[in-house]
Amino acid sequence: MSLQPPDAAQRIWMLTQMLRIRTFEERVKRTFTDHPGVIRGHTHLADGAEASIVGALSHFRAGDAVLATYRCHGYPLTLGSDPGAMMAEIYGRADGLCKGLGGSMHLTDVRHGFLGTSGIVGAGIPHAAGAAWAAQIRRRGEVVFSFFGDGASKQGAFHETLNIASLWKLPVVFVMENNGYNVVTTTSQEDASAAAGEPLAVKARAHAMPGVTVDGTDPLAVHAVVGEAVERARAGRGPTLVESKVYRLSAHGNIIAPPGVPLHYPEHEAIAVFGKRAEYEAALRGDPVPRWRGVLVQNGMLTPAGADELTARVLEEMERAVSFALASPFPDTACALQYNYA
């Protein structure tokens, strides 16, 4: 069975989802200046990873499951979660996806197959394998997508899980989004493979599974590579490690300041820590969202006016999400003691 390249409708769907993620993240970021104090705590944005998220999740089918890290806004958006409920969760409001108990780092939407996240680097990887074990037992050809960053591949949980997943031929696709940075440490400073000039996908070899590196800013490339991994998993032939190379276009997360000092997004670490403005600007020139729009317009799949209209519709959708979240009440304090067996 060979993988079909996405048709025009799918390609436009990809652009739509990429625009939705980008615009949602811009609204999160702007909340810090437009509505100071509304976001409390940590947020981590997916801008720059849109093509990777959308290319991978273009293979999602009902019954599949997705688990991810704390940089988690892009996945549920793509899977169909309501952006208003997501924004309300990020604002800590009663109408949030998790009723204000989870926050930006712990978005969960079971109805759309998004089984949650871990704020602990690498910790979600074994849970994805467990979900895949349950899928293997159900025998309906369902797969699990496990998303994590390059930093997680230095955790014990990563290696332990890849070993079991490969040994048991679990239907899971491990998508490592390699954005080149652990907060302020570059991958080549902390990863032996990277320091030796090797792709991080080589780590798959130790666990007897395919490891593929792909340009994560190209949705078609990700679609092809993840598509093959998903087919392999659905067919019962086991997991694949996909290293998807992206560049996060925002800093690791918003500044966490002592009370009284407004939270905000600082400059990207490439500039703020390493003084490499040229590196950051090159990444901006390669921004996957305008690039993909350009490709679709150039290929005649969208007119410039059609693309503008799509952009405007998405902007309106995300502005509605912000308004909904701002209007949502704070949770009833009694809610703090719910959902806890005691």
Partner 1 sequence: MSQTYIELLRRALDEELSLDPAVHLLGEDVAAGGAFGVTKGLAQKHGARRVRNTPISEAAIAGLATGAALCGLRPVLEIMFIDFATLALDCLVNQSAKYRYMSGGQLAVPMVVRTQAGAAGGAAAQHSQSLESWFIHVPGLVVVAPSSPVEAYGLLKRSIRLGDPVLFIEHKRLYALREELPANLPLPDIGRARVARAGCDVTVITYSAMVGSALEAADIVAGQGLSAEVIDLRTLTPLDMQTVAASVMKTHRVVIAHEAVRNGGVGAEIAARLAGELFDELDAPITRVGCRFAPIPFAPELERAVLPGTADIVRAVQAACA
Residues lying near partner 1 in the complex (CB under 8 A) are found at: 65, 67, 96-102, 106, 108-111, 115-116, 118-120, 123-135, 137, 156-157, 160-161, 163-164, 167, 338-342
Beta bridge partners of 243: 176, 213
Cβ-based nearer residue to partner 1, 117 or 186 = 117
Residue closer to partner 1, measured from CB, 167 or 206: 167
CB of 177 to partner 1, least distance (A): 20
Question: What is the closest distance, in whole angstroms, from the C-beta atom of residue 111 to partner 1 in the complex?
Answer: 8
Smaller CB separation from partner 1, 165 or 222: 165
Nearest distance in Å: CB 93, partner 1: 12
Which backbone phi and psi does 297 adopt, to 5 degrees? -70, -45
Distance separating alpha carbons of residues 337 and 334, to the nearest angstrom: 6
Token reading at 260: 């009284």
Q: How far is the CB of 332 from partner 1 (least distance, A)?
A: 13
CB of 212 to partner 1, least distance (A): 22
Nearer to partner 1, 125 or 302 (CB): 125
Q: Closer to partner 1 by CB, 132 or 270: give it.
A: 132
Paired strand residues for 26: none
Least gap, CB of 236 to partner 1 (angstroms): 14
* Cβ 112 to partner 1 shortest distance, Å: 11
Cβ closer to partner 1: 152 or 307? 152
CA dihedral 113, 119, 122, 124 (to 10 degrees): -30
Q: State the Cα–Cα distance between residues 11 and 24, nearest whole angstrom.
A: 20
State the minimum distance, in angstroms, from the CB of residue 297 to partner 1.
Answer: 40
Nearest distance in Å: CB 175, partner 1: 16
* CB within 8 Å of 109: residues ≥ 6 apart: 76, 79, 81, 85, 97
Q: Which string of DSSP letters, residue by residue, matches 191-255?
A: -HHHHTT--GGGGGGGGTS-EEEEETT-HHHHHHHHHHHHHHHHTTS--EEEEEE---SS-SS--
Please check whether residue 268 is in contact with residue 250, taking contact to mean a CB–CB distance below 8 angstroms: yes
- Taking the least distance from each CB to partner 1, the nearer of 84 and 100 is 100
Query: Residue written as tokens 């907060």?
Result: 183
Q: What is the largest CA-CA distance in the chain?
A: 60
* CA-to-CA separations, 289 to 55, 58, 203, 244, in angstroms, rounded: 12, 16, 30, 16
38 exposed, middle or buried (CB, 10 Å; 0-12, 13-18, 19+)? Answer: middle
User: Among residues 77 and 135, whose Cβ is nearest to partner 1?
Assistant: 135
Q: Smaller CB distance to partner 1: residue 114 or 247?
A: 114
Helix (H) or strand (E) holding 125: helix 124-138
Spatial CA neighbour of 50 closest among 286, 257, 252 = 286
